[in-house]
Amino acid sequence: MNHPRTQIAQQSPEQFRKYLDFSMACKHSSIEPALVHLVDLRASQLNGCAFCVDMHVKEARIEGERELRLHHVAVWRESPLFEPRERAALAWTEALTRLAPEGVSDALYAELREQFSEKELGDLTFLVMAINGWNRASIASRSVPGSMDKAYGLDKAGLA
């Protein structure tokens, strides 16, 4: 039986606001918005966060991302639709979302450094940290996909 879950934004408003501020700073960093959407979507897929997958698909569509690329994020390694910089960011997202016992390989780090400056690498890392936190909060709260569309302006995506 499903019991109502604590809505952390209402119960811990100060922490919620500070985490939201952190998250917004991550989204407005040296990482281009289109890549932010791909990173957010991939981490959310890996974590099984239905609310966040729904939200990030809609955000990306509003910002002009092609629908086929959004479908291919789950299979980005096999898809020809992503550039080397995007591939490196998606690989980094996966490595930091599903931490391996041996950590992050030197090979992956070297691949990433070919595509990102040190500043961008720091910003990308914080971006991955931020979305993973939101995924965990949304899953813990059992946030319903689409329930905040109007409040977040996601109804503009036309994906009801």
Q: What is the pLDDT of residues 102-145, one digit of tens each?
A: 999 999 999 999 999 999 999 999 999 999 999 999 999 988 88
Q: Can you name the CATH fold of 14-146?
A: AhpD-like (1.20.1290)
**pTM, 2 dp:** 0.93
Q: What is the pLDDT of residue 159?
A: 85
Tens digits of residue pLDDT in 35-56: 999 999 999 999 999 999 999 9
In angstroms, what is the C-alpha Rg of the chain?
Answer: 16
Phi/psi region, residue 92 (left: phi>0; alpha: psi -120 to 50; beta: rest), is: alpha
CA angle 154, 67, 38 (to 5 degrees): 75
